[in-house]
A and B are shown apart, each in its own frame.
Chain A
Amino acid sequence: MKAPKDGVPPAATAGGAAAVADPAPDPPRKRRSRERLTPPSWLALLFLLPALALLGFLVVYPIVYSVIRSLFDATGDAFAGVDNYTGVFQGRENLIAVRNTAIWVVVAPSLVTIVGLFFAVLTERIRWATAFKLVVFMPMAISFLASGVIFRLVYQQDPDKGVANAAMVAIHDTFAQDTGYPGAGPRGGGDQPLREDAGGVATTGTHSAGQSVLMPLVKVKPEYVPDGAEPAAQPPPAQAGQVTGTVWFDFTRGGGGEPNVPNAGETGLPGVKVEAVRGGEVVATATTNADGTFTMADVPDGAYTIRLPADNFTAPYRGAEWLGSTLITPAIIGSYLWVWSGFAMVLIAAGLAAIPRDALEAARVDGATEWQVFRRVTIPLLAPVLMVVAVTLTINVLKVFDLVYIIGGGDPNASVLALEMWTEAFGGGNDQGAGSAIAVLLFVLVAPAMLFNIRRIRQERT
Chain B
Amino acid sequence: MSTGEKAAKNPDRPDGPAGGTAAGGAAAGGNGAAGSPRRGVAARVVGRIGGGAAQSVLVLIALFWLVPTFGLLVASLRSNEDNAASGWWNVFTEPTQLTLESYSALLDKPDFVDSFWNTVLITVPATLLVVAIASLAAYAFAWMEFPGRDWLFLLVVALLVVPVQVALIPVAKLYGNIQFGGWQMFGSVTGVVLFHVAFGLPFAIFLLRNFFAAIPRDLLEAARMDGGSEWTIFRRVIFPLGGPAIASLGIFQFLWVWNDLLVALVFADTEAQPMTKWLQSQMRQFTGNIDILAPGAFLSLIVPLAVFFAFQRYFVQGVLAGSVK
Contacts and interface: CB of A to CB of B under 8 A. Distances in A.
Do A and B touch directly, given a CB cutoff of 8 Å in the complex? yes
Interface of A: 1-20, 22-23, 25, 35-39, 41, 43-45, 47-48, 50-52, 54-55, 57-63, 65-66, 69, 118-119, 121-127, 129, 131-132, 134-147, 149-154, 156, 159-163, 166, 338, 343, 346-347, 350-358, 360-361, 364-365, 367-371, 373-374, 378, 384-385, 388-389, 395, 398-399, 401-402, 405-406, 409, 418, 421-422, 425-426, 432, 435-436, 438-440, 442-443, 446-447, 449-450, 453-454, 457-458, 461
Given A122-B54, A145-B280, A453-B157, A426 B15 contact: no
Contact of A355 (B20, B142, B279): B20
30 contacts: A4-B207, A12-B324, A22-B150, A44-B144, A45-B146, A55-B198, A58-B171, A61-B174, A143-B260, A146-B279, A154-B67, A160-B86, A160-B87, A163-B67, A163-B68, A163-B71, A347-B320, A347-B323, A389-B323, A401-B261, A402-B262, A405-B261, A426-B168, A440-B166, A443-B162, A443-B166, A450-B158, A453-B157, A453-B158, A461-B150
B281 to A, nearest CB: 11
Given A44-B145, A125-B19, A9 B320 contact: no
A69 B173 CA distance: 11
A280 B14 CA distance: 68
A428 to B, nearest CB: 13
B265 A371 contact: no
Contacts of B109: none
A141 B163 contact: no
B163 A20 contact: no
A13 B322 contact: yes
Nearest to B140: A47
A1 B230 contact: no
B300 A13 contact: no
A439 B165 contact: yes
Interface in B191-248: 194-195, 197-203, 205-207, 210-211, 213-214, 217, 221, 224-225, 227, 230, 244-245, 248
Interface residues of B, number: 153
Nearest to A436: B169
A55 B159 contact: yes
Binding site secondary structure of chain B: helix
Contacts of A15: 211, 214, 244-245
Nearest to A166: B87
Contact of A361 (B32, B163, B280): B32
Contact of B7 (A350, A357, A402): A357
B106 interface: no
Interface stretch (B23-31, B96-104, B110-118): B23-31
A322 B323 CA distance: 36
B130 to A, nearest CB: 10
Contacts of B159: 55, 59-60
B321 A4 contact: yes
B21 A442 contact: no
A4 B199 contact: no
Contacts of A402: 261-262
Given A18-B325, A47-B144, A438 B283 contact: no
A9 B160 contact: yes
B248 to A, nearest CB: 7
B4 to A, nearest CB: 4
Contact of B252 (A1, A338, A421): A1
Of the listed residues B54, B87, B200, the one surrounded by the most CB atoms of chain A closer than 10 A to its CB is: B87
B203 A125 contact: no
A271 B114 CA distance: 59
B305 A141 contact: yes
Contacts of B152: 48
Contact of A351 (B164, B203, B324): B324
Contacts of A136: 61-62, 65
A142 B317 contact: no
Of the listed residues A352, A353, A364, the one surrounded by the most CB atoms of chain B closer than 10 A to its CB is: A364
B65 to A, nearest CB: 5
Contacts of A406: 280, 283
